Amino acid sequence: MKNRNHVGSRKAIKYRLFLYVLPCIAIVFIFSYLPLWGWSFAFFRYKPGKSVWDCAFVGWSNFKDLFGNAVLRRNLLRVLRNTFGIHFLGYVFSPLPMLFAVLLCEVRSKKFQKIVQTVTTLPNFISWVIMFSLSVTIFGANGLVNTALQEIGAGTINILNTDKHVWLTQVLLQQWKSLGWSAIIYFAAIAGLDQELYEAAMVDGAGRWSRIWYITIPQLIPTYFVLLIMSIGNFLNTGVDQYLAFGNAMNMDHIEVLDLYVYNLGIGSGQISYSVAAGMMKSLVAIVLFAGANFVSKKVRGTSVF
Amino acid sequence: MAKEKKYKVKRKKMTGGDFAFHIGAYFIFGLILIICAYPFYYLMICTISDNRMVDLGQIRLLPSGIHFDNYVKVMKVQNLTNSFRISVLRTVIGTGLSLIVTSYMAYFFTKEEMWARKFWYRLVVVTMYFSAGMIPAYLNNRMLGLNNTFWIYIVPSLISVYNMILVKTSIESMPPDLEESAYLDGAGFFTRFVRIVLPLQKPILATVGLFSAVGHWNDFFTTQLYVTNPRLYTLQFQLYELLNQIRAASEQITTEDPYAKLTPTGIRLTLTAVVVIPIMLVYPFIQKYYVKGVMIGAVKG
């Protein structure tokens, strides 16, 4: 259509456009696809400081060790348990942003809505290092909570340096950080709902709770499910920031997730080959999970992510 | 019409149930507000209060013995001012370059005439969900000679696929006539991109810029993984290191020379505040933009 005046040069434009975007594709290739050569380390017994070609080729034995060697297997199962545990505990809280948005939209004062939104979104923008620093300030040995407890003679509580309730603590911290941010999408969805439905319901005498329960929530459920499915599809990719910041010798048993394990194994203890093998399996499982989630989400809402 | 008026009148009157609901709602949201805001407030009042009182936990609601020595002294610690510079530089340069490259790429990916566009686009989008992993990335960046240079902060994060999708979706929602008429006036792709498209995409560019800037400012892991030269440490990393020292000595660190006269808690809190304040100052202004960004992002996964 656009090139109707230049029918002859249409083909040229086709390739010229590609040429323009090629540098960007090259950057993506260099930083996202080129690192794949590093996977070859998983098939060698790599010793730091040597070239990979000077190391012994061991085939699949690193992968077999991850499952076969008693210590490595125990660690792998432990970090998988933690990854699953923290995620599934997170799902328990997953309806919270929706409820938060629904309730806040029922409040009449727009100004109050705005203030709550602004303040609750702020924690989303701070790093996990800051989160840790704030947590130490509030829950640390000389922190706010403990000094207050001591004052009333109730002893002290130790939240950060303990192996108890680690998953719950981490999930609650995630909730504090992300609640307001996750609610934004529901605010936008609620703003787009058809007002006539509400008016009709009010004529029929529906009260506040029945309007929420029978009109608002059912229309938000598809959004909720799509977000849930996508988060399931993405759940191996936890990142390390939070767990690196909050991890310590006391809670490592329950806080070490797969990503942190890969990091500790490779950078911490120099087991490059095992670390790459574990990371490689993670990447492959993650892409399968993602494809599955994408497929389900396509069924739910009719369009895929691509 | 008559009916409509009737509900409007009804809506404005608060029934008993309405009243109870609002009391409950204000209570819950008031509580949430306090839980979200108080830690930041507490942090701020601690940094300007008497350091000894802070250590004893005597500061709760109001600052006491107000002074700004903590800030003055933290700024005098040599390596911290340098880190502050590195953090600012990487945030400004990284965000600026990333915005240019990302929006450029997004614009050309909206052109359906492009050769094998779908294929290339998918190749790019897949990288959001699939990565070779941490160690391969490390080896790759080492091979490229980026490790332990300032550019490790900038180059690998030049293209954010997520942001690219946001910008692309936003450009696609623009009326095509605008570009069409510029095209008929003889404007090429680049002229149209710079003169027509970019000026109309300010809201989404503000959103994407915020995401990118916050990502740069908050990142400490890149330093942890790739950088050993203290001249290149970022502020976040310095804070992380400081927290690690405290952790190692279970909150009993002895003050070292550069920090003399400052309590460990004082340094940590002040450094935390220095890192948080810029974010608190910037983000409320961009708030009205990012709602849109989140919507597009959610639709696209």
Instruction: Give chain B's domains with CATH numbers.
Output: 15-67 (no CATH), 69-299 (1.10.3720.10)
Query: For an interface test with B, which of A13, A32, A108 has the most B Cβ atoms less than 10 Å from its Cβ?
Result: A32
Q: Give residue B6's pLDDT.
A: 46
Q: Quick one: CA torsion of B251, B252, B254, B258, rounded to 10 degrees?
A: 10
> B169 to each of A36, A306, B110, B201, how far by Cα in Å?
29, 12, 8, 11
Looking at residue A300, its pLDDT comes to 74
Cβ contact (<8 Å) for B220 and A129? yes
User: Which of A4, A15, A31, A120 to probe the B interface (max B CBs under 10 A)?
Assistant: A31
Residue numbers of chain A with a pLDDT score lower than 70: 1-8, 52, 301-306
Residue B295, number of CB atoms within 10 A of its CB: 19
* CA nearest to B152, candidates A31, A125, A34: A31
Query: Residue B296's pLDDT is what?
Result: 67
Mean pLDDT of chain B: 84
Q: Does A156 touch chain B (CB under 8 A)?
A: no
The C-alpha atoms of residue B78 and residue B274 are separated, in whole angstroms, by 15
Closest-CA residue in chain A for B176? A2
> What pLDDT score was predicted for residue B235?
92
pLDDT of residue A304: 53
How far is residue B276's CA from residue A130's CA, in Å, rounded to a whole number? 8
Give the model's pLDDT for residue A252: 87
Of B40, B134, B240, the CB nearest to A245: B240
For the beta carbon of residue B259, count every other beta carbon within 10 angstroms: 18
A219 part of contact set with chain B, CB < 8 Å:
no
- Closest Cα in chain A, distance from residue B230 (Å): 18
More confident residue, A297 or B39: B39
- Banded pLDDT at B3 (limits 50, 70, 90): very low
Q: Among residues A198, A126, A182, A17, which one has the least CA distance to residue B298? A: A182
3-state secondary structure A223-257: HHHHHHHHHHHCCCCCCCHHHHHHCCCCCHHHHCC
- pLDDT tens digit sequence for B44-54: 998 888 877 77
Whether the complex's predicted ipTM is more than 0.90 is answered with no
The residue-averaged pLDDT of B84-106 equals 95
- The answer to whether residue B300 scores a pLDDT higher than 70 is no
pLDDT of residue A153: 82
Confidence bin at B4 (pLDDT 50/70/90): very low
CB contact under 8 A, B272 and A27: no
Q: How would residue B297 be classed by pLDDT, with cut points 50, 70 and 90?
A: low
Distance CA B168, CA B57 (A): 51
Taking residues B138-145, report their average pLDDT.
92
Q: Residue B81 has what pLDDT?
A: 87
Separation CA A175–CA A90 (nearest Å): 8
Residue B119 clears pLDDT 80, i.e. is over it: yes
Q: Who has greater pLDDT, B203 or B223?
A: B223
- pLDDT of B33 > 80? The answer is yes
- Domains (ranges, CATH) in chain A? 1-59 (no CATH), 69-301 (1.10.3720.10)
**Residue of B28, B104, B134 lying closest to A266 (CB–CB):** B134
What is d(CA A99, CA A186) in angstroms, rounded to the nearest whole number?
Answer: 9
pLDDT bracket for residue B251 (50, 70, 90)? very low
Using DSSP, state whether B268 is helix, strand or coil: helix
CB–CB of A3 and B136 under 8 A?
Answer: no
